[in-house]
């Protein structure tokens, strides 16, 4: 637990300025391209987890400083770590900016982020720093099963889209110097990266469980029959057993 408590403050405080400097050097001191590339994971990790914690109530962080269930520094924490992976995985300039290179970059980023975010979330769930109220949680399955329900598809597709977005922006802005397309690229890349992982996660959840994956099981007892029981018109689960307090809830 101590690692996660320190990590969440040290990374955005110490590593974010260093990360910005590294991207700035990569792009020959071009702040516009640097800000665009760094803003993608930062905005993503404020919007999607923010909605997932405070609106859908699927995630909850067990930490002192929170905005309801969401830690305010999360965007800079995830954005810093993700963009550092981008620096390590995607060299610049690439051999070419072909469609194959763009897809390859996305595949590499998707594979790396899917694995490391899965590993991080497994340990965060195990020590109680992160609580995920998904279907696996309601069935009292372990941290690996809980994290596997969302991490590979969610972070894998995010990494795929982020890696492709980086290459597309580098091609038009660094290679061609088309800064007249800057705002179009910024908006389209953000929409692409925000929407694609969510849509992929929902589709996979529907195929594998029949659920959208957007339902919080915080108040469900964990009885599989209760989880799958039909709902009454008022929205309560018929014949549900009394729910026990959620284990691991942040204090």
- Cα dihedral 61→115→205→250 (10° resolution): -10
If DSSP codes are grouped into helix, strand and coil, which group holds residue 60? strand
d(CA 51, CA 39) in angstroms, rounded, equals 18
How many other C-beta atoms lie within 10 A of the C-beta of residue 101?
16
Give this prediction's pTM. Answer: 0.84
d(CA 108, CA 56) in angstroms, rounded, equals 30
CA proximity to 238, closest of 229, 248, 225, 228: 229
pLDDT tens across the length of the chain (251 residues): 777 777 787 888 889 999 999 999 999 999 999 999 999 999 999 999 889 998 999 999 888 777 777 888 888 999 999 999 999 999 999 989 999 999 999 999 999 999 999 999 999 999 999 999 999 999 999 999 999 999 999 999 999 999 999 999 999 999 999 999 999 999 999 999 999 999 999 999 999 999 999 999 988 744 444 344 434 444 433 333 333 333 333 33
User: Given the structure tokens 């339902």, which residue do they identify?
Assistant: 215
Domain ranges of the chain: 2-217
Q: DSSP assignment, residue 180? A: G
User: Given the structure tokens 């929407």, which residue do they identify?
Assistant: 195
d(CA 80, CA 20) in angstroms, rounded, equals 8
Is the Cβ–Cβ distance between 240 and 221 less than 8 Å?
A: yes
């Amino acid at each position: 637990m101590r690692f996660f408590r320190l990590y969440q403050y040290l990374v955005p405080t110490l590593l974010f300025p260093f990360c910005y400097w590294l991207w700035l050097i990569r792009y020959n001191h071009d702040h516009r391209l640097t800000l665009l590339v760094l803003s993608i994971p930062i905005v993503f990790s404020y919007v999607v987890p923010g909605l997932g914690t405070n609106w859908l109530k699927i995630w909850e962080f067990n930490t002192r400083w929170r905005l309801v269930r969401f830690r305010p520094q999360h965007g800079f924490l995830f954005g810093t770590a993700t963009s550092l992976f981008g620096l390590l995985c995607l060299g610049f300039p690439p051999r070419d900016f072909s469609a194959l290179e763009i897809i390859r970059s996305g595949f590499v980023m998707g594979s790396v982020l899917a694995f490391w975010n899965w590993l991080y979330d497994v340990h965060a769930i195990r020590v109680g720093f992160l609580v995920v109220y998904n279907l696996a949680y309601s069935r009292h399955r372990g941290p690996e099963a809980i994290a596997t329900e969302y991490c590979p598809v969610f972070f894998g597709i995010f990494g795929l889209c982020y890696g492709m977005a980086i290459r597309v922006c580098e091609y038009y802005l660094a290679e061609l110097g088309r800064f007249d397309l800057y705002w179009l690229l910024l908006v389209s890349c953000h929409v692409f990266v925000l929407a694609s992982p969510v849509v992929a996660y929902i589709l996979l959840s529907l195929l594998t469980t029949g659920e959208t994956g957007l339902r919080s099981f915080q108040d469900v007892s964990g009885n599989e029959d209760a989880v799958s029981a039909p709902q009454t018109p008022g929205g309560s689960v018929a014949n549900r057993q009394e729910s026990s307090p959620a284990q691991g809830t942040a204090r």
